[in-house]
Amino acid sequence: MQDGKARNFSSARTSACGLLRAAVLAGAFVAGSALASLAAASDMVYASEAGPLRVTEVARGLERPWAFAFLPDGRLLVTERPGRMRIVDADGRVSEPIAGVPEVHARGQGGLLDVALGPDFVNDGLIVFSYAEPTARGARTAVARARLDADQLRLEDVRRIFAQDEDPSGNHHWGSRLVFGRDGRLFVTLGDRFHHRERAQALDSHLGKVVRIEPDGGVPADNPLVGRADARGEIWSWGHRNVQGAALHPLTGELWTHEHGPQGGDEINRTLAGRNHGWPEITYGREYVTGRKIGAGSERTDVAAPVLQWTPSIAPSGMAFYTGDAFPQWKGNLFVGALKFQLLARLVLDGERVVHEERLLEGVGRIRDVRQGPDGRLWLLDESAGRVLRIDPQ
């Protein structure tokens, strides 16, 4: 492999010291009041290597939330997988659905997925969002741009700017994270659609790829495969299974991603131009039913090694580098949500290597998205309970 063997913390990982079962902060409970009881249950204290952490429930009542973005005024723009987009105010009030969202294929893992503000949102109000788009044959991952009127709760000038070139049947592995690079180009992560994993290695297919496009959907001239007759010019990297976490490294500006592996082999990758990440030929994963090893091994000279792999799988989703001041000890750390184990993984980096893992907030819920807020705190989406959570020092 190009970068050496992946680090695996599955057998020697560091626990977050467990959940402190002091579930209610002092003074939060008022006997006999259902509302006070709800508030008490929503503020939890957890142990961490940085000291006690308070997790506050900012909002609840969302249905299968998938992603969120911070608006300039501090409100949250949140997607719900059934096909709704909402605004969450600072006091936790959840708006009515925003009008103008296109029809989505809300089945299995599909629906309305990621959302990101455009680089010049303050001036033009443009957002991009991804979704499973229904077609006559099945469905495909698509991306649209629109102008958001947050006060009138509507999308204007909605236009699809990208869609996968294949639309097979099935309801799994849509990928769908959206990240603007420093140059304003848009990275889109695309799953292999589960039953079509061999297409992740095919350069004439969007399945199992990360693509890079212009904000209007055009193909950047400096993409790695531009000009090749046997390849799609949008492709940035290939050999991916189902990428549900993506973020820019705060120092290098490189795209880092993570993806789900089957029964092991979840990966974190430096996702650079023209790299093959191996799936399904080179992988740490195993078949769900038989347990048989997938592929021809876990190393090959033309395949980029993951920075880290998890076995057993933690089912990662959401990803953020921390650069805030609320937790000085965490600066430069990488945070990944986990659906299966219902926790937040904190990864300490030494350059491009992961040198330590701490597992935080175990049992808090299925963490679907992770973002650093403008307040320097970490904010989470708990898919299982439809909640927005915020982490503060205790």
**Mean pLDDT (whole number) for 13-18:** 40
Taking Cα atoms as reference points, which of 241, 278, 271 lies closest to residue 352?
271
CB 212 within 8 A of CB 185: yes
- Residues contacting residue 52 through CB under 8 Å, at least 6 positions apart: 20, 45, 46, 393, 394
Percent of the chain whose predicted confidence (pLDDT) is above 70: 89
| Cα–Cα distance, 304 to 322 (Å, whole number) | 25
At 236-289, the pLDDT tens digits run 999 999 999 999 999 999 999 999 999 999 999 999 999 999 999 999 999 999
Our CA dihedral for 258, 103, 78, 251, rounded to 10 degrees, sits at: 40
- Give the Cα separation of 104 and 318 in Å (integer): 21
35 or 58: which carries more pLDDT confidence? 58
Domain borders along the chain are: 14-393
Specify the residue for token string 């580098």.
321
Question: How far is 176 from 109, CA to CA, in rounded Å?
Answer: 11
Q: Evaluate if residue 36 carries a pLDDT over 50.
A: no
For the cut 90, the answer to whether the pLDDT of residue 22 exceeds it is no
φ and ψ of 219, to 5 deg: -100, 120
| pLDDT class of 32 with cuts at 50, 70, 90 | very low
Assess whether the previous peptide bond of 328 is cis (omega < 30° from 0): no
pLDDT tens for each residue of 129-176: 999 999 999 999 999 999 999 999 999 999 999 999 999 999 999 999
The CATH T-level fold of domain 14-393 is Neuraminidase (2.120.10)
Whether 43 has a pLDDT exceeding 60, the answer reads yes
- Number of Cβ atoms within 10 Å of the Cβ of 270: 20
Q: What pLDDT is attached to residue 1? A: 46
Backbone dihedral angles phi then psi of residue 295, each to the nearest 5 degrees: 85, -170
Nearest to 237 by CA among 298, 294, 306, 285: 306
Confidence class for position 9, pLDDT limits 50, 70, 90: low
Q: Is 173 a catalytic residue?
A: yes
Secondary structure letter of residue 198 according to DSSP = G
pLDDT tens readout for residues 339-355: 999 999 999 999 999 99
Q: What single-letter amino acid sits at 323?
A: T
96, 272, 345, 384 from 368: Cα distances, Å: 22, 24, 12, 9
**Catalytic-labelled residue, pool 105, 172, 173, 196:** 173
